[in-house]
Amino acid sequence: MSGMDMFFLFILIFIPVAIGLIFTPLLTRRTESFGVSIPVDQFKHPDLAKMRKKYALYMIILSIVVLVAMLAAANWEPALPTLLIVYLLLSFLVYLHFHKIMKAYKAQQNWGKTRKQTVVVDTGFRSQKLTVSNGWFVIGLALALATLTITIVMYDKIPERLPMHTDLHGHVTDWKDKSYRSVLLLPVIQFYLLGLFAFINVMIDRAKAVIDPDAPEASIKRNILFRRRWSGYMILIGTLLTVMMGLEQLSLIFDINETVINALNMGVIAVIVIGTIILSFMTGQGGSRIKQAEGKDAQLINRDDDRYWKLGVFYFNRQDPALFIETRFGGGWTSNFAHPLSWIFIIGIIAIVIVISVIFK
């Protein structure tokens, strides 16, 4: 992929990410606001609605400034990933500002004194079909095996020098001598990503269920749909990435037009990024945007466990045996960082990446 293609790729990624961050407060559960637990009937309160609008304004301004900076620095390639990282850090600081305001607002309202805190447990939840079967990853696995086999069988057809990087004008600036380690990097990454997505799919199935006490049946239905949709989407993403990297690998052996490869890469990234945004808006965190019967008892609220959420996003609870739980700000799941096994998984995932980068460099 040329440097100019990389520039357009960063812009393609940045815009949907910015849209997602701007509207994040609308995608969270109605029982949470900026990482702080609230009664469900307070989500539409004018004070909280005003807070969300103000957050969106701050994020729009920040997003425009960073986008302009990206366009201005288009000819300096290192600026793009740097600006993206800076943007994510600044957006987190914006969130922290509103998280602090929300905590103060909750303390002022003192909802816990007038409402009953409740925890709802459904013993039959795990008997439901919560995710799409990991068996669907066999499609990606077959593609990865085919890529690996073709690479080994046709190793002699691969050029002695491999282009590793090009500048904004399409000129190759970095080459690597052919070796089994260098040519097997992409097939190995294919297997790693498939394993990672299969692990995420298992995590979706095993993650702790959060059930709203004011309408438990509707909450359970939303949660099941939420998990099934994201499970199927993880399988789709894993398969698409396998196809993308497989074609990139085959271009080392066969004469495949570079324009076709770049178009496929752009298309896959676009589907993943835009698809994520669309699914987030259609589903919401925990299925909060899926229409179901409204709650009937606004005096019942989820048990206040804000003390276990550091900065509203990091979950630390030694008494909770759950390894994974829904995030409070945004979408998806996070780890229970007080559980040692969670750290084993995190360190293991990072360690495998480091090992791959060292062995196949």
Q: What is the pTM of this model?
A: 0.84
Predicted pLDDT of residue 98: 97
Contact 235, 201 (CB under 8 A): yes
More confident residue, 65 or 263: 65
Could you read off the pLDDT of 39-69 as tens digits, one per residue? 888 888 999 999 999 999 999 999 999 999 9
Contact 271, 14 (CB under 8 A): no
Q: Is the pLDDT of residue 72 over 70?
A: yes
Predicted pLDDT of residue 354: 92
Q: Is the pLDDT of residue 89 over 90?
A: yes
- Which of 73-82, 221-230, 326-335 is most confident? 221-230
pLDDT exceeding 70 applies to what percent of the chain? 88
Length of the chain (residues): 361
When pLDDT is averaged across residues 308-315 and rounded to a whole number, the result is 92
Q: Is the pLDDT of residue 172 over 70?
A: no
Predicted pLDDT of residue 81: 82
* Poorest-pLDDT segment among 30-34, 128-132, 292-296: 292-296
When pLDDT is averaged across residues 108-130 and rounded to a whole number, the result is 76
Cβ-count burial of 135 within 10 angstroms (0-12 exposed, 13-18 middle, 19+ buried)?
exposed
Q: Which domain holds residue 206?
A: 3-359
More confident residue, 253 or 9: 253
Predicted pLDDT of residue 191: 95
CA dihedral 157, 140, 81, 169 (to 10 degrees): 30
Dist CA 360 CA 179 (whole Å) = 9
- Label residue 242 by pLDDT band (50, 70, 90): very high
Dist CA 14 CA 17 (whole Å) = 5
Dist CA 147 CA 144 (whole Å) = 5
- Label residue 215 by pLDDT band (50, 70, 90): confident
Predicted pLDDT of residue 91: 96
Predicted pLDDT of residue 119: 67
* Poorest-pLDDT segment among 1-10, 20-29, 63-72: 1-10
Cβ-count burial of 108 within 10 angstroms (0-12 exposed, 13-18 middle, 19+ buried)?
exposed
Dist CA 310 CA 312 (whole Å) = 5
Q: Is the pLDDT of residue 300 over 80?
A: no
CA dihedral 101, 115, 334, 220 (to 10 degrees): -140
Dist CA 219 CA 302 (whole Å) = 12
Number of independent structural domains in the chain: 1
When pLDDT is averaged across residues 289-300 and rounded to a whole number, the result is 63
Predicted pLDDT of residue 258: 77
Contact 42, 32 (CB under 8 A): no
- Label residue 234 by pLDDT band (50, 70, 90): very high
Cβ count near 146 (within 10 Å): 14
Dist CA 65 CA 87 (whole Å) = 9
When pLDDT is averaged across residues 188-213 and rounded to a whole number, the result is 90
When pLDDT is averaged across residues 126-153 and rounded to a whole number, the result is 92
Average pLDDT, the chain: 86
- Label residue 298 by pLDDT band (50, 70, 90): low
- Label residue 214 by pLDDT band (50, 70, 90): confident
Distances (CA, A) of 132 to 25, 200, 229, 236, 350: 28, 12, 8, 11, 26
Rg (CA), the chain: 23
Q: Is the pLDDT of residue 218 over 70?
A: yes
